[in-house]
Structure 1
Protein backbone atom coordinates (compact mmCIF):
# COMPACT_ATOMS: atom_id res chain seq x y z
CA UNK A 1 0.00 0.00 0.00
CA UNK A 2 0.99 3.62 -0.38
CA UNK A 3 1.46 5.86 2.62
CA UNK A 4 -1.39 8.20 3.50
CA UNK A 5 -0.61 11.57 1.91
CA UNK A 6 -3.04 13.83 3.76
CA UNK A 7 -4.33 13.36 7.29
CA UNK A 8 -7.67 14.60 8.58
CA UNK A 9 -7.34 13.56 12.21
CA UNK A 10 -10.07 12.56 14.67
CA UNK A 11 -10.09 11.13 18.17
CA UNK A 12 -11.46 7.89 19.61
CA UNK A 13 -11.24 6.70 23.23
CA UNK A 14 -7.86 5.09 23.91
CA UNK A 15 -8.01 2.16 24.00
CA UNK A 16 -11.13 1.66 21.87
CA UNK A 17 -12.80 -1.66 22.69
CA UNK A 18 -14.44 -2.38 19.32
CA UNK A 19 -12.93 -5.51 17.73
CA UNK A 20 -12.16 -5.91 14.04
CA UNK A 21 -14.84 -8.62 13.75
CA UNK A 22 -17.46 -6.34 15.31
CA UNK A 23 -16.48 -3.48 13.02
CA UNK A 24 -16.47 -5.76 9.99
CA UNK A 25 -19.99 -6.97 10.83
CA UNK A 26 -21.18 -3.36 11.16
CA UNK A 27 -19.71 -2.38 7.78
CA UNK A 28 -20.94 -5.49 5.88
CA UNK A 29 -24.49 -4.19 5.20
CA UNK A 30 -22.90 -1.04 3.77
CA UNK A 31 -20.35 -2.76 1.53
CA UNK A 32 -19.72 -1.46 -1.97
CA UNK A 33 -21.92 -2.70 -4.81
CA UNK A 34 -21.34 -1.39 -8.36
CA UNK A 35 -23.79 1.28 -9.48
CA UNK A 36 -26.79 0.18 -11.52
CA UNK A 37 -27.14 1.59 -15.03
CA UNK A 38 -29.62 4.23 -13.85
CA UNK A 39 -27.66 5.31 -10.75
CA UNK A 40 -25.53 8.44 -10.72
CA UNK A 41 -23.60 7.67 -7.52
CA UNK A 42 -22.85 4.61 -5.37
CA UNK A 43 -20.67 4.43 -2.25
CA UNK A 44 -19.76 1.59 0.07
CA UNK A 45 -17.02 -0.07 2.10
CA UNK A 46 -14.64 -2.26 0.10
CA UNK A 47 -11.75 -4.64 0.72
CA UNK A 48 -8.57 -2.65 1.50
CA UNK A 49 -6.53 -5.55 0.16
CA UNK A 50 -7.85 -8.15 -2.33
CA UNK A 51 -9.14 -11.14 -0.39
CA UNK A 52 -9.24 -9.33 2.94
CA UNK A 53 -12.21 -8.48 5.14
CA UNK A 54 -13.68 -4.99 5.03
CA UNK A 55 -11.48 -4.30 8.05
CA UNK A 56 -7.88 -5.26 7.35
CA UNK A 57 -5.91 -5.78 10.55
CA UNK A 58 -2.15 -5.60 11.01
CA UNK A 59 -0.54 -5.32 14.44
CA UNK A 60 -3.87 -4.28 16.07
CA UNK A 61 -4.30 -1.47 13.51
CA UNK A 62 -7.42 -1.29 11.30
CA UNK A 63 -7.48 -0.23 7.66
CA UNK A 64 -10.73 0.57 5.84
CA UNK A 65 -11.47 1.70 2.29
CA UNK A 66 -14.52 3.58 1.03
CA UNK A 67 -15.17 3.17 -2.70
CA UNK A 68 -17.15 5.81 -4.59
CA UNK A 69 -18.44 5.19 -8.12
CA UNK A 70 -19.74 8.25 -9.93
CA UNK A 71 -21.21 8.55 -13.41
CA UNK A 72 -19.83 11.38 -15.55
CA UNK A 73 -22.79 13.19 -17.05
CA UNK A 74 -21.88 16.86 -17.57
CA UNK A 75 -24.69 19.42 -17.45
CA UNK A 76 -23.37 20.85 -20.75
CA UNK A 77 -24.10 17.52 -22.51
CA UNK A 78 -27.62 17.33 -21.06
CA UNK A 79 -28.28 20.94 -22.06
CA UNK A 80 -26.99 20.36 -25.59
CA UNK A 81 -29.21 17.32 -26.19
CA UNK A 82 -32.21 18.98 -24.53
CA UNK A 83 -31.76 22.08 -26.68
CA UNK A 84 -31.80 19.96 -29.84
CA UNK A 85 -34.94 18.13 -28.66
CA UNK A 86 -36.60 21.45 -27.80
CA UNK A 87 -35.92 22.72 -31.31
CA UNK A 88 -37.58 19.60 -32.74
CA UNK A 89 -40.60 20.12 -30.46
CA UNK A 90 -40.88 23.77 -31.51
CA UNK A 91 -40.83 22.82 -35.17
CA UNK A 92 -43.47 20.12 -34.62
CA UNK A 93 -45.87 22.12 -32.44
CA UNK A 94 -45.22 25.64 -33.61
CA UNK A 95 -44.04 27.08 -30.28
CA UNK A 96 -41.09 26.60 -27.94
CA UNK A 97 -41.53 24.49 -24.81
CA UNK A 98 -42.16 26.50 -21.64
CA UNK A 99 -40.04 26.62 -18.50
CA UNK A 100 -41.68 23.59 -16.85
CA UNK A 101 -41.69 21.56 -20.07
CA UNK A 102 -37.98 22.37 -20.55
CA UNK A 103 -37.19 21.21 -17.02
CA UNK A 104 -39.05 17.93 -17.61
CA UNK A 105 -37.25 17.50 -20.93
CA UNK A 106 -33.84 17.88 -19.28
CA UNK A 107 -34.77 15.25 -16.67
CA UNK A 108 -35.84 12.80 -19.40
CA UNK A 109 -32.65 13.42 -21.34
CA UNK A 110 -30.53 12.85 -18.21
CA UNK A 111 -32.32 9.54 -17.52
CA UNK A 112 -31.79 8.43 -21.13
CA UNK A 113 -28.09 9.32 -21.14
CA UNK A 114 -27.24 7.91 -17.69
CA UNK A 115 -26.92 4.22 -18.73
CA UNK A 116 -24.38 5.23 -21.40
CA UNK A 117 -22.36 7.58 -19.16
CA UNK A 118 -18.78 6.76 -18.23
CA UNK A 119 -18.12 6.08 -14.58
CA UNK A 120 -15.12 6.73 -12.35
CA UNK A 121 -14.12 4.97 -9.14
CA UNK A 122 -12.21 6.60 -6.32
CA UNK A 123 -11.05 5.14 -3.03
CA UNK A 124 -10.69 6.94 0.28
CA UNK A 125 -8.63 5.23 2.97
CA UNK A 126 -9.36 5.26 6.70
CA UNK A 127 -6.92 4.19 9.40
CA UNK A 128 -8.24 3.41 12.88
CA UNK A 129 -5.76 2.98 15.73
CA UNK A 130 -7.82 1.45 18.57
CA UNK A 131 -4.72 1.27 20.79
CA UNK A 132 -3.88 5.00 20.76
CA UNK A 133 -7.31 6.32 19.80
CA UNK A 134 -6.65 7.80 16.34
CA UNK A 135 -9.07 7.83 13.42
CA UNK A 136 -7.48 9.28 10.28
CA UNK A 137 -9.01 9.88 6.84
CA UNK A 138 -6.57 10.14 3.92
CA UNK A 139 -7.83 13.26 2.13
CA UNK A 140 -6.85 16.91 1.81
CA UNK A 141 -10.53 17.94 1.80
CA UNK A 142 -12.28 18.48 5.17
CA UNK A 143 -15.67 18.13 3.46
CA UNK A 144 -14.64 14.78 1.98
CA UNK A 145 -13.47 13.63 5.42
CA UNK A 146 -16.81 14.68 6.91
CA UNK A 147 -18.62 12.70 4.20
CA UNK A 148 -16.58 9.58 4.97
CA UNK A 149 -17.17 10.04 8.69
CA UNK A 150 -20.94 10.34 8.18
CA UNK A 151 -20.97 7.04 6.29
CA UNK A 152 -18.92 5.43 9.06
CA UNK A 153 -21.32 6.78 11.69
CA UNK A 154 -24.22 5.40 9.67
CA UNK A 155 -22.67 1.93 9.79
CA UNK A 156 -21.27 1.93 13.33
CA UNK A 157 -23.86 2.70 15.98
CA UNK A 158 -22.72 5.28 18.55
CA UNK A 159 -19.19 5.58 17.18
CA UNK A 160 -17.44 7.69 19.86
CA UNK A 161 -15.47 9.87 17.45
CA UNK A 162 -14.58 13.53 18.05
CA UNK A 163 -12.56 16.21 16.31
CA UNK A 164 -8.98 16.55 17.51
CA UNK A 165 -8.61 19.66 19.66
CA UNK A 166 -5.39 21.07 21.08
CA UNK A 167 -4.56 23.55 23.84
CA UNK A 168 -2.78 26.11 21.67
CA UNK A 169 -3.71 27.62 18.31
CA UNK A 170 -1.69 26.07 15.45
CA UNK A 171 -1.39 29.55 13.90
CA UNK A 172 0.01 31.08 17.07
CA UNK A 173 2.40 28.21 17.71
CA UNK A 174 3.73 28.03 14.14
CA UNK A 175 4.23 31.81 14.15
CA UNK A 176 6.19 31.58 17.42
CA UNK A 177 8.42 28.86 15.96
CA UNK A 178 9.29 31.08 13.01
CA UNK A 179 9.71 34.15 15.19
CA UNK A 180 12.14 32.32 17.48
CA UNK A 181 13.75 30.51 14.53
CA UNK A 182 13.43 27.31 16.52
CA UNK A 183 11.20 24.28 16.03
CA UNK A 184 10.08 22.12 18.97
CA UNK A 185 12.16 19.11 20.00
CA UNK A 186 12.08 16.35 17.41
CA UNK A 187 11.04 18.64 14.53
CA UNK A 188 12.83 20.77 11.97
CA UNK A 189 11.33 23.59 9.93
CA UNK A 190 11.58 23.06 6.17
CA UNK A 191 11.43 25.47 3.24
CA UNK A 192 7.69 26.02 2.71
CA UNK A 193 5.50 28.40 4.68
CA UNK A 194 2.56 30.75 4.27
CA UNK A 195 2.08 33.89 6.35
CA UNK A 196 -1.18 35.83 6.19
CA UNK A 197 -2.34 39.14 7.61
CA UNK A 198 -5.17 38.89 10.12
CA UNK A 199 -6.86 42.13 9.00
CA UNK A 200 -9.28 42.80 6.19
CA UNK A 201 -6.53 42.87 3.56
CA UNK A 202 -5.77 39.14 3.99
CA UNK A 203 -2.40 39.94 2.45
CA UNK A 204 -0.18 36.87 2.40
CA UNK A 205 3.28 35.77 1.46
CA UNK A 206 4.13 32.19 0.51
CA UNK A 207 7.56 30.57 0.55
CA UNK A 208 8.06 27.62 -1.78
CA UNK A 209 11.32 25.66 -1.56
CA UNK A 210 12.84 28.86 -0.19
CA UNK A 211 15.06 29.29 2.87
CA UNK A 212 13.09 30.94 5.66
CA UNK A 213 15.48 33.73 6.62
CA UNK A 214 14.71 34.83 10.22
CA UNK A 215 15.10 38.54 9.43
CA UNK A 216 12.85 38.35 6.37
CA UNK A 217 10.18 36.26 8.11
CA UNK A 218 10.45 38.47 11.21
CA UNK A 219 9.56 41.58 9.21
CA UNK A 220 6.36 39.93 7.99
CA UNK A 221 5.44 38.86 11.53
CA UNK A 222 6.12 42.38 12.84
CA UNK A 223 3.81 43.69 10.11
CA UNK A 224 1.00 41.56 11.54
CA UNK A 225 1.18 38.40 9.46
CA UNK A 226 0.82 34.99 11.08
CA UNK A 227 1.87 31.54 9.89
CA UNK A 228 -1.07 29.51 8.54
CA UNK A 229 0.92 26.76 6.83
CA UNK A 230 4.34 25.35 7.64
CA UNK A 231 6.46 22.51 6.26
CA UNK A 232 8.14 20.39 8.93
CA UNK A 233 10.13 17.20 9.27
CA UNK A 234 9.56 14.89 12.23
CA UNK A 235 12.41 12.85 13.71
CA UNK A 236 14.28 12.95 10.37
CA UNK A 237 11.76 10.35 9.16
CA UNK A 238 8.62 12.05 7.82
CA UNK A 239 8.11 15.40 6.13
CA UNK A 240 4.69 17.06 6.12
CA UNK A 241 2.85 20.36 6.07
CA UNK A 242 0.82 21.51 9.08
CA UNK A 243 -2.00 23.97 8.41
CA UNK A 244 -4.07 26.34 10.51
CA UNK A 245 -6.96 23.86 10.81
CA UNK A 246 -4.76 21.10 12.21
CA UNK A 247 -4.76 19.15 8.94
CA UNK A 248 -1.50 17.39 8.07
CA UNK A 249 -0.79 17.41 4.35
CA UNK A 250 1.86 16.32 1.84
CA UNK A 251 3.04 13.49 4.10
CA UNK A 252 6.18 11.83 2.77
CA UNK A 253 8.32 9.11 4.38
CA UNK A 254 12.01 9.92 4.01
CA UNK A 255 14.87 7.67 2.93
CA UNK A 256 15.50 6.18 6.37
CA UNK A 257 11.99 4.66 6.31
CA UNK A 258 12.04 3.75 2.62
CA UNK A 259 15.12 1.61 3.26
CA UNK A 260 13.24 -0.37 5.93
CA UNK A 261 10.49 -1.19 3.43
CA UNK A 262 12.73 -2.32 0.58
CA UNK A 263 13.62 -5.73 2.06
CA UNK A 264 10.04 -7.07 1.78
CA UNK A 265 9.34 -8.85 -1.54
CA UNK A 266 5.94 -10.64 -1.54
CA UNK A 267 2.96 -8.44 -2.51
CA UNK A 268 0.78 -9.20 0.52
CA UNK A 269 3.77 -9.05 2.84
CA UNK A 270 4.79 -5.74 1.33
CA UNK A 271 1.27 -4.35 1.83
CA UNK A 272 1.17 -5.44 5.47
CA UNK A 273 4.74 -4.31 6.07
CA UNK A 274 3.97 -0.86 4.66
CA UNK A 275 0.84 -0.65 6.80
CA UNK A 276 2.67 -1.71 9.97
CA UNK A 277 5.46 0.79 9.42
CA UNK A 278 3.16 3.65 8.43
CA UNK A 279 0.74 3.26 11.32
CA UNK A 280 3.49 2.85 13.90
CA UNK A 281 5.40 5.92 12.78
CA UNK A 282 2.34 8.13 12.19
CA UNK A 283 0.92 7.28 15.63
CA UNK A 284 4.14 8.49 17.24
CA UNK A 285 4.29 11.55 14.98
CA UNK A 286 0.70 12.56 15.75
CA UNK A 287 1.37 12.29 19.48
CA UNK A 288 4.41 14.55 19.11
CA UNK A 289 2.49 17.08 16.98
CA UNK A 290 -0.22 17.27 19.64
CA UNK A 291 2.40 17.71 22.37
CA UNK A 292 4.10 20.49 20.39
CA UNK A 293 0.73 22.27 20.24
CA UNK A 294 0.31 22.21 24.01
CA UNK A 295 -1.38 18.84 24.36
CA UNK A 296 -4.99 17.91 23.84
CA UNK A 297 -7.79 20.21 24.89
CA UNK A 298 -10.20 18.25 27.05
CA UNK A 299 -13.89 19.06 27.29
Structure 2
Protein backbone atom coordinates (compact mmCIF):
# COMPACT_ATOMS: atom_id res chain seq x y z
CA UNK A 1 0.00 0.00 0.00
CA UNK A 2 1.31 3.42 -0.99
CA UNK A 3 0.30 6.81 0.36
CA UNK A 4 -0.91 9.27 -2.28
CA UNK A 5 -0.08 12.50 -0.43
CA UNK A 6 2.41 13.28 2.30
CA UNK A 7 1.95 15.82 5.07
CA UNK A 8 5.32 15.64 6.79
CA UNK A 9 6.22 16.13 10.46
CA UNK A 10 9.26 15.38 12.59
CA UNK A 11 9.86 13.24 15.68
CA UNK A 12 13.07 12.55 17.60
CA UNK A 13 15.27 10.00 15.82
CA UNK A 14 15.14 7.47 17.26
CA UNK A 15 11.90 7.90 19.20
CA UNK A 16 11.79 5.47 22.12
CA UNK A 17 8.24 4.16 21.95
CA UNK A 18 7.03 0.62 21.36
CA UNK A 19 3.98 -0.50 19.43
CA UNK A 20 2.40 -1.74 22.66
CA UNK A 21 2.92 1.64 24.35
CA UNK A 22 1.42 3.47 21.39
CA UNK A 23 -1.49 1.02 21.33
CA UNK A 24 -2.18 1.73 24.99
CA UNK A 25 -2.25 5.48 24.37
CA UNK A 26 -4.68 5.16 21.45
CA UNK A 27 -7.08 2.73 23.11
CA UNK A 28 -9.19 5.47 24.69
CA UNK A 29 -9.74 6.98 21.24
CA UNK A 30 -10.96 3.82 19.50
CA UNK A 31 -13.61 4.56 16.88
CA UNK A 32 -17.30 4.31 17.75
CA UNK A 33 -20.03 4.80 15.11
CA UNK A 34 -22.30 7.82 15.27
CA UNK A 35 -25.21 7.55 17.63
CA UNK A 36 -28.63 8.84 16.55
CA UNK A 37 -27.73 12.32 17.84
CA UNK A 38 -24.09 12.55 16.68
CA UNK A 39 -23.21 14.66 13.66
CA UNK A 40 -19.67 13.26 13.51
CA UNK A 41 -17.38 10.84 15.31
CA UNK A 42 -13.68 10.11 14.91
CA UNK A 43 -11.41 7.43 16.28
CA UNK A 44 -8.76 4.82 15.55
CA UNK A 45 -9.56 1.54 13.85
CA UNK A 46 -7.41 -1.48 13.15
CA UNK A 47 -5.46 -1.01 9.88
CA UNK A 48 -5.73 -4.75 9.19
CA UNK A 49 -9.16 -5.53 10.60
CA UNK A 50 -7.92 -7.26 13.74
CA UNK A 51 -7.86 -6.05 17.33
CA UNK A 52 -4.61 -4.09 16.97
CA UNK A 53 -4.79 -0.32 16.48
CA UNK A 54 -1.09 -0.20 15.58
CA UNK A 55 0.12 -2.32 12.67
CA UNK A 56 3.88 -2.89 12.79
CA UNK A 57 6.20 -3.92 9.97
CA UNK A 58 9.98 -3.72 10.30
CA UNK A 59 9.74 -1.26 13.24
CA UNK A 60 7.39 1.00 11.24
CA UNK A 61 3.93 1.85 12.63
CA UNK A 62 0.74 2.22 10.59
CA UNK A 63 -2.40 3.85 12.03
CA UNK A 64 -5.84 4.42 10.53
CA UNK A 65 -8.20 7.18 11.64
CA UNK A 66 -11.86 6.66 10.79
CA UNK A 67 -14.29 9.58 10.50
CA UNK A 68 -18.05 9.13 10.21
CA UNK A 69 -20.09 12.20 9.32
CA UNK A 70 -23.84 12.58 8.96
CA UNK A 71 -25.05 14.21 5.75
CA UNK A 72 -27.65 16.71 6.90
CA UNK A 73 -27.50 19.86 4.77
CA UNK A 74 -28.35 23.16 6.43
CA UNK A 75 -30.80 23.88 3.58
CA UNK A 76 -32.89 20.84 4.55
CA UNK A 77 -32.92 21.86 8.23
CA UNK A 78 -33.91 25.42 7.31
CA UNK A 79 -36.71 24.28 4.97
CA UNK A 80 -38.28 22.01 7.59
CA UNK A 81 -37.84 24.66 10.30
CA UNK A 82 -39.55 27.24 8.10
CA UNK A 83 -42.51 24.92 7.49
CA UNK A 84 -42.80 24.21 11.23
CA UNK A 85 -42.64 27.95 11.99
CA UNK A 86 -45.62 28.54 9.66
CA UNK A 87 -47.59 25.85 11.48
CA UNK A 88 -46.67 27.38 14.85
CA UNK A 89 -47.79 30.82 13.68
CA UNK A 90 -51.16 29.44 12.63
CA UNK A 91 -51.61 27.76 16.02
CA UNK A 92 -50.57 30.65 18.27
CA UNK A 93 -51.63 33.56 16.09
CA UNK A 94 -48.23 35.21 15.78
CA UNK A 95 -44.87 34.20 14.31
CA UNK A 96 -42.36 32.52 16.60
CA UNK A 97 -39.67 34.76 18.08
CA UNK A 98 -35.93 34.33 17.87
CA UNK A 99 -35.75 31.99 20.88
CA UNK A 100 -38.66 29.85 19.68
CA UNK A 101 -37.14 29.63 16.19
CA UNK A 102 -33.80 28.52 17.62
CA UNK A 103 -35.47 25.85 19.75
CA UNK A 104 -37.53 24.75 16.74
CA UNK A 105 -34.40 24.42 14.63
CA UNK A 106 -32.69 22.31 17.30
CA UNK A 107 -35.77 20.09 17.53
CA UNK A 108 -35.85 19.62 13.75
CA UNK A 109 -32.15 18.74 13.72
CA UNK A 110 -32.63 16.12 16.45
CA UNK A 111 -35.55 14.60 14.52
CA UNK A 112 -33.71 14.44 11.18
CA UNK A 113 -30.32 13.18 12.43
CA UNK A 114 -31.36 9.52 12.96
CA UNK A 115 -32.56 9.40 9.34
CA UNK A 116 -29.53 11.13 7.82
CA UNK A 117 -27.11 9.21 5.62
CA UNK A 118 -23.53 8.80 6.82
CA UNK A 119 -20.24 8.90 4.98
CA UNK A 120 -17.12 7.24 6.37
CA UNK A 121 -13.58 8.13 5.36
CA UNK A 122 -10.20 6.93 6.53
CA UNK A 123 -6.92 8.76 7.02
CA UNK A 124 -3.72 6.74 7.08
CA UNK A 125 -0.76 7.71 9.25
CA UNK A 126 2.74 6.27 9.19
CA UNK A 127 5.06 6.73 12.16
CA UNK A 128 8.75 5.98 11.67
CA UNK A 129 10.28 5.96 15.18
CA UNK A 130 13.67 4.91 13.76
CA UNK A 131 14.24 7.87 11.43
CA UNK A 132 11.89 10.31 13.16
CA UNK A 133 9.09 10.82 10.65
CA UNK A 134 5.34 11.18 11.09
CA UNK A 135 3.55 11.14 7.74
CA UNK A 136 -0.17 11.66 7.19
CA UNK A 137 -1.72 10.60 3.89
CA UNK A 138 -3.81 13.75 3.42
CA UNK A 139 -4.23 16.21 0.59
CA UNK A 140 -4.22 19.25 2.87
CA UNK A 141 -2.72 20.28 6.22
CA UNK A 142 -6.26 20.68 7.56
CA UNK A 143 -6.99 16.96 7.18
CA UNK A 144 -3.67 16.11 8.79
CA UNK A 145 -4.55 18.35 11.75
CA UNK A 146 -7.42 15.99 12.60
CA UNK A 147 -4.86 13.22 13.14
CA UNK A 148 -2.42 15.43 15.03
CA UNK A 149 -5.05 16.74 17.46
CA UNK A 150 -5.97 13.21 18.53
CA UNK A 151 -2.34 12.13 18.86
CA UNK A 152 -1.46 15.21 20.91
CA UNK A 153 -4.33 14.42 23.29
CA UNK A 154 -3.53 10.72 23.51
CA UNK A 155 0.25 10.70 23.94
CA UNK A 156 1.75 12.52 26.93
CA UNK A 157 4.44 15.02 25.92
CA UNK A 158 4.17 13.98 22.28
CA UNK A 159 7.48 15.25 20.80
CA UNK A 160 6.09 16.33 17.43
CA UNK A 161 7.57 19.25 15.49
CA UNK A 162 6.72 21.02 12.28
CA UNK A 163 9.22 20.40 9.51
CA UNK A 164 11.12 23.47 8.40
CA UNK A 165 14.12 23.60 6.10
CA UNK A 166 17.00 26.06 5.76
CA UNK A 167 15.80 27.05 2.30
CA UNK A 168 12.10 27.31 1.54
CA UNK A 169 10.63 25.05 -1.15
CA UNK A 170 9.36 28.21 -2.89
CA UNK A 171 12.84 29.71 -3.28
CA UNK A 172 14.51 26.39 -4.04
CA UNK A 173 12.04 25.29 -6.72
CA UNK A 174 12.29 28.71 -8.37
CA UNK A 175 16.09 28.50 -8.38
CA UNK A 176 16.07 24.98 -9.81
CA UNK A 177 13.88 26.12 -12.68
CA UNK A 178 15.86 29.31 -13.29
CA UNK A 179 19.10 27.33 -13.48
CA UNK A 180 17.45 24.50 -15.42
CA UNK A 181 19.13 22.10 -13.00
CA UNK A 182 17.52 19.81 -10.45
CA UNK A 183 19.34 18.82 -7.24
CA UNK A 184 21.39 15.63 -7.21
CA UNK A 185 19.23 12.51 -7.43
CA UNK A 186 16.17 14.38 -8.77
CA UNK A 187 14.82 15.28 -12.18
CA UNK A 188 12.20 17.90 -13.05
CA UNK A 189 9.08 16.61 -14.78
CA UNK A 190 6.49 18.34 -16.97
CA UNK A 191 4.07 19.84 -14.41
CA UNK A 192 4.69 23.10 -12.59
CA UNK A 193 2.95 26.23 -11.34
CA UNK A 194 4.42 29.73 -11.27
CA UNK A 195 2.64 32.51 -9.40
CA UNK A 196 3.26 36.24 -9.19
CA UNK A 197 3.98 37.71 -5.76
CA UNK A 198 2.10 40.97 -6.38
CA UNK A 199 -1.57 41.75 -5.88
CA UNK A 200 -2.49 40.24 -9.25
CA UNK A 201 -1.41 36.72 -8.18
CA UNK A 202 -1.08 35.97 -11.89
CA UNK A 203 -0.49 32.24 -12.32
CA UNK A 204 0.96 30.12 -15.10
CA UNK A 205 0.51 26.35 -15.03
CA UNK A 206 2.28 23.74 -17.13
CA UNK A 207 0.46 20.42 -17.29
CA UNK A 208 2.20 17.55 -19.09
CA UNK A 209 4.08 20.20 -21.03
CA UNK A 210 7.80 20.42 -21.72
CA UNK A 211 9.31 23.19 -19.62
CA UNK A 212 11.28 25.40 -21.99
CA UNK A 213 14.05 27.04 -19.90
CA UNK A 214 13.82 30.41 -21.65
CA UNK A 215 10.03 30.63 -21.20
CA UNK A 216 10.29 29.67 -17.55
CA UNK A 217 13.07 32.21 -16.93
CA UNK A 218 10.96 34.99 -18.44
CA UNK A 219 8.17 34.22 -16.00
CA UNK A 220 10.62 34.18 -13.10
CA UNK A 221 12.24 37.45 -14.20
CA UNK A 222 8.77 39.03 -14.31
CA UNK A 223 8.35 38.25 -10.61
CA UNK A 224 6.74 34.81 -10.55
CA UNK A 225 7.85 32.05 -8.17
CA UNK A 226 7.41 28.31 -8.39
CA UNK A 227 4.69 27.06 -6.04
CA UNK A 228 4.37 23.47 -7.33
CA UNK A 229 6.89 21.31 -9.15
CA UNK A 230 6.61 17.75 -10.44
CA UNK A 231 9.79 15.78 -9.86
CA UNK A 232 11.18 12.25 -9.93
CA UNK A 233 13.58 10.84 -7.35
CA UNK A 234 16.24 8.34 -8.44
CA UNK A 235 13.98 7.05 -11.25
CA UNK A 236 11.93 5.36 -8.52
CA UNK A 237 9.22 7.73 -7.28
CA UNK A 238 7.43 10.63 -8.98
CA UNK A 239 5.74 13.34 -6.94
CA UNK A 240 4.73 17.00 -6.80
CA UNK A 241 6.44 19.25 -4.28
CA UNK A 242 4.45 22.25 -3.03
CA UNK A 243 5.45 25.56 -1.50
CA UNK A 244 4.37 24.46 2.00
CA UNK A 245 6.56 21.33 1.89
CA UNK A 246 3.70 18.94 1.21
CA UNK A 247 4.17 16.16 -1.30
CA UNK A 248 1.28 15.27 -3.60
CA UNK A 249 0.57 12.70 -6.31
CA UNK A 250 3.27 10.35 -5.08
CA UNK A 251 3.64 7.34 -7.36
CA UNK A 252 6.10 4.42 -7.45
CA UNK A 253 7.60 3.91 -10.89
CA UNK A 254 8.10 0.66 -12.76
CA UNK A 255 11.37 -0.27 -11.10
CA UNK A 256 9.60 -0.37 -7.70
CA UNK A 257 6.40 -1.91 -9.04
CA UNK A 258 8.46 -4.82 -10.33
CA UNK A 259 9.82 -5.35 -6.82
CA UNK A 260 6.31 -5.33 -5.34
CA UNK A 261 4.86 -7.67 -7.98
CA UNK A 262 6.65 -10.68 -6.56
CA UNK A 263 3.95 -13.21 -5.77
CA UNK A 264 3.25 -13.56 -2.05
CA UNK A 265 1.39 -16.30 -0.30
CA UNK A 266 -1.53 -14.15 0.83
CA UNK A 267 -2.94 -10.61 1.03
CA UNK A 268 -1.34 -9.93 4.42
CA UNK A 269 2.13 -10.65 3.05
CA UNK A 270 1.52 -8.48 0.00
CA UNK A 271 0.23 -5.64 2.18
CA UNK A 272 3.21 -5.83 4.52
CA UNK A 273 5.61 -6.10 1.60
CA UNK A 274 4.20 -2.98 -0.05
CA UNK A 275 4.24 -1.08 3.25
CA UNK A 276 7.85 -2.06 3.93
CA UNK A 277 8.87 -1.04 0.40
CA UNK A 278 7.07 2.31 0.67
CA UNK A 279 8.49 3.21 4.06
CA UNK A 280 12.01 2.23 3.08
CA UNK A 281 12.05 4.19 -0.17
CA UNK A 282 10.09 7.25 1.01
CA UNK A 283 12.38 7.61 4.04
CA UNK A 284 15.34 7.88 1.65
CA UNK A 285 13.45 10.29 -0.61
CA UNK A 286 12.64 12.56 2.33
CA UNK A 287 16.24 12.55 3.54
CA UNK A 288 17.48 13.53 0.07
CA UNK A 289 14.79 16.19 -0.30
CA UNK A 290 15.63 17.79 3.05
CA UNK A 291 19.29 17.84 2.04
CA UNK A 292 18.38 19.49 -1.30
CA UNK A 293 16.54 22.18 0.69
CA UNK A 294 19.62 22.97 2.77
CA UNK A 295 18.88 20.68 5.71
CA UNK A 296 16.37 20.83 8.54
CA UNK A 297 16.01 23.81 10.84
CA UNK A 298 16.21 22.60 14.42
CA UNK A 299 13.94 23.96 17.15
CA UNK A 300 16.67 26.24 18.55
CA UNK A 301 17.21 27.58 15.03
CA UNK A 302 13.66 28.89 14.85
CA UNK A 303 11.46 25.88 14.11
CA UNK A 304 8.18 25.53 15.98
CA UNK A 305 7.19 22.59 18.17
CA UNK A 306 3.53 21.60 18.08
CA UNK A 307 1.72 21.85 21.39
CA UNK A 308 -1.36 20.11 22.67
What interval of TM-score do these two structures reach, taking the shorter chain for normalisation? over 0.9
Q: Shift of residue 39 of structure 1?
A: 1.0
Which residue in 2 is equivalent to 1:111?
110
Counterparts in 2 of 1:157-236, with a 5 A limit? Answer: 157-236=156-235
Q: TM-score, normalised by structure 1?
A: 0.98
Q: Report the Cα distance in structure 1 between the residues aligned to 2:259 and 2:15, rounded to whole angstroms.
A: 29
Are the equivalent residues in 2 in contact too, given 1:194–1:227 (CA < 8 A)? yes
Q: Report the Cα distance in structure 2 between the residues aligned to 1:126 and 1:120, rounded to whole angstroms.
A: 20
1:88 is aligned to 2:87: yes
Q: TM-score, normalised by structure 2?
A: 0.95
SS at match of 2:244: coil
1:295 is aligned to 2:295: yes
Are the equivalent residues in 2 in contact too, given 1:72–1:120 (CA < 8 A)? yes
Q: Report the Cα distance in structure 1 between the residues aligned to 2:104 and 2:51, rounded to whole angstroms.
A: 46
Q: Report the Cα distance in structure 1 between the residues aligned to 2:257 and 2:50, rounded to whole angstroms.
A: 26
Q: Report the Cα distance in structure 1 between the residues aligned to 2:80 and 2:261, rounded to whole angstroms.
A: 53
Q: Report the Cα distance in structure 2 between the residues aligned to 1:282 and 1:96, rounded to whole angstroms.
A: 63
SS at match of 1:282: helix
Are the equivalent residues in 2 in contact too, given 1:14–1:130 (CA < 8 A)? yes
Which residue in 2 is equivalent to 1:24?
23
Which residue in 1 is equivalent to 2:305?
none
Are the equivalent residues in 2 in contact too, given 1:264–1:273 (CA < 8 A)? no
Which residue in 2 is equivalent to 1:264?
263
C-alpha offsets along residues 180-228 of structure 1, whole Å, 9 cap, x if unaligned? 1110111010011111111222111111111110011010011111111
Which residue in 2 is equivalent to 1:244?
243
Q: Shift of residue 52 of structure 1?
A: 5.1
C-alpha offsets along residues 151-196 of structure 1, whole Å, 9 cap, x if unaligned? 1111111110000110101111101110111101110100111111
SS at match of 2:230: strand
Which residue in 1 is equivalent to 2:41?
42
SS at match of 1:184: coil
Counterparts in 2 of 1:66-145, with a 5 A limit? Answer: 66-145=65-144
Which residue in 2 is equivalent to 1:64?
63
Q: Report the Cα distance in structure 2 between the residues aligned to 1:229 and 1:297, rounded to whole angstroms.
A: 22
Q: Report the Cα distance in structure 2 between the residues aligned to 1:27 and 1:220, rounded to whole angstroms.
A: 49
C-alpha offsets along residues 206-254 of structure 1, whole Å, 9 cap, x if unaligned? 1111111001101001111111110000111111100110011111111
Q: Report the Cα distance in structure 1 between the residues aligned to 2:145 and 2:28, rounded to whole angstroms.
A: 20
Moved over 4 A (4+): none
C-alpha offsets along residues 70-91 of structure 1, whole Å, 9 cap, x if unaligned? 1111111111111111111112
Distance 1:178 1:52, change over 3 A: farther
- Equivalenced residue count is 298
SS at match of 2:131: coil
Q: Report the Cα distance in structure 1 between the residues aligned to 2:281 and 2:170, rounded to whole angstroms.
A: 25
Structure 1 residue runs of 5 or longer lacking an equivalent are none
SS at match of 1:167: coil
Q: Shift of residue 294 of structure 1?
A: 0.5
RMSD over aligned Cα atoms = 1.0
1:278 is aligned to 2:275: no
